[in-house]
Amino acid sequence: AAGAVFGLELGNRLLGGAPQQQELNAIRDRATRTVQQARTGFPPQLLSIFERPVPLLGGVGGFAVVFRAYHRSLEREVAVKVPSERTPEAGRIFYNETSIWADLNHPNIVQIVDHSALPFPYLAMEYMAGGDLQRRLADRGSPFAVAEACRILLQIAGAVRYAHEERDLIHGDIK
């Protein structure tokens, strides 16, 4: 049932449903958290691994923040996710999530290219330059055509099905 509600909500957004006040408040809250995280900054312990970190707008969740950075040893741009809380407990939870995610292999799930608990918990994943779906919708200025919305929803559904049916995982934070 929750998946159906998610699908209806996302479908409504893709097809141009008017944003609700709750959605607008959530967008404002995410932007505020992103600015606060930018002030907190990239963990200095990771500057020997990554250079030029920049916070990504929309890259802040309830538990982590995402930066774009250059991975020195991989010699490429990556998205770096770090726990927003800098406590040992948050680090343990984050690293457990990272270990599970690193084992996933599906064309519609971003691949982790590096992760570690030390010197500070992080995961580096493919950097997807096209931005997130919310930004793509905003940049378009108009809703997706029905066929394009269905194509996107099928890709999302395929990734969720893979995680659930083949890996016995439930994603608790689909936006």
Q: Hey, which residues are catalytic here?
A: 173
Number of C-beta neighbours around residue 37 at 10 A: 20
Per the CB < 8 A criterion, the answer to whether 49 and 71 are in contact is: yes
